[in-house]
Structure 1
């Protein structure tokens, strides 16, 4: 398992497979590189190089006491890209990773990135403010974090079925659900709470308005973790040139439940290159 060191001394774990044009996978909050087990083999078989990062406090990376703000996390992503000298990148980001990808593009530029895919991403802005009335109340965040601190395993377990939208017939075994909860619990509790908090408070609307590379937005209509009216549909309006896909029966865990469809949509998007595909809402 390779590691590299960023400017504050934190050692970050990453995985690097294959050759060809690189696909850089940016993981969800509380998850790490292993979450992409249904995507990596597919893209390797189609001739791509797959690069995956464990963000700080997650997976096998160091657990420092600081650096969980979005700017630092996007800088960590930039450091990996520069460490491997990657170009012609497709960024594929899930959930909170979408904010890190958006901030990377606005903070470090699009020179190395050819296209970006936002999957069930928690952008553009979750917090309710005067100029963001569609957002969620601050009290909801604090209540969630209080539950999280009281019984973190229960918090994840209570949300697991909704995460995969199993009530809509998605076939996910109890063993798989348990495995994904275990992966979430592997994140440092402090890191998980800080990333959750910073993602809630961060306004990504200016970042998304600056995206000029081809973009793909995929969101599940049944997503209980990132409500589509607060996230995916609003992101579409901020990136009007994006290819947009809604999966009617998908929840937040669409990378598992709809892996075949998702992989095909990402591949078609990558191959189209210019993002000229027709929207299919």
Structure 2
């Protein structure tokens, strides 16, 4: 069965494993509130082309256990590394979205790169959004906490708010199209994440700062970020990673919002395919 126990505290975590067992491996790390279903426009095509695509449901998300603790960045990073160990994966490309990108950074700086060859960060919140000494132009942490409290009073309303949906997908801009049915589906999947997980992840984003860790990433990094991402503005996130990381390629998607994994699904898949292929070995025979 596609479950394993977290090495941190024994929490039962669910994962998916698509494609051939001997294909080049991509491990997908999800956004807050969503499970592996968010990557369908990337995982299914790539798995069909011979890549092994693995995805982890974060604790309290998807089909993983509902638990109270373990939503700190260290434990989430340990959960991710535990999956790599459980499946004995090597030469991995880690692909993250939003807070999943920070989990990837912490996983690498905490556990090293023995199993990981490269990293792709899609609409990431890394290095961090909150104002700090390293990020003087960041958001006011008090305002972020106040917004979180408002959202948590009525989670279904938050995840179904028309204006929030419009901003998430940047639907007011050309080229960004998702059906009402897809929006309804994705909002429903967000509500599968437990109230505890939702609250804890919101708190995590308010304090998250991996600025000092990004320069330690000694491997190729691909950053894909949208010009109209109001959840992870380019100058606070992807552009900063590109300046901090020693081997980084930044690709900016015109008009894309935070939900670019859906609105720009085919383009992201193509960029990931190229990135994965850069490390693909060819049998000399």
Query: So what's the TM-score if we normalise by structure 2?
Result: 0.93
Shift of 1:231: 0.9
The CA deviation string for residues 169-218 of structure 1, in whole angstroms up to 9 with x for no partner, is 31211111111111111101111111121132121112211111111000
CA contact (8 A) 1:214 1:273 kept: no
CA contact (8 A) 1:75 1:104 kept: yes
State the distance in 1 between where 2:276 and 2:221 align.
Answer: 10
State the distance in 2 between where 1:66 and 1:31 align.
Answer: 18
The CA RMSD over aligned residues, in Å, is 1.3
1:9-158, aligned counterparts within 5 Å?
Answer: 9-19=10-20, 20-158=23-161
State the distance in 2 between where 1:196 and 1:182 align.
Answer: 18
Q: Which runs of 5+ in 1 are unaligned?
A: 275-281
Q: Which runs of 5+ in 2 are unaligned?
A: 281-285
**Counterpart for residue 6 of structure 1:** 6
Secondary structure of 2:234's aligned partner: coil
CA contact (8 A) 1:161 1:177 kept: no
Secondary structure of 1:44's aligned partner: helix
**Counterpart for residue 250 of structure 1:** 256
**Counterpart for residue 283 of structure 2:** none
State the distance in 1 between where 2:272 and 2:3 align.
Answer: 28
Shift of 1:240: 4.1
1:222 to 222, 228, 240: 228
Aligned pairs, number: 274
State the distance in 1 between where 2:135 and 2:278 align.
Answer: 34
State the distance in 2 between where 1:273 and 1:237 align.
Answer: 23
Query: So what's the TM-score if we normalise by structure 1?
Result: 0.94
CA contact (8 A) 1:24 1:50 kept: yes
Answer with 218-227 or 134-143: which moved more.
Answer: 134-143
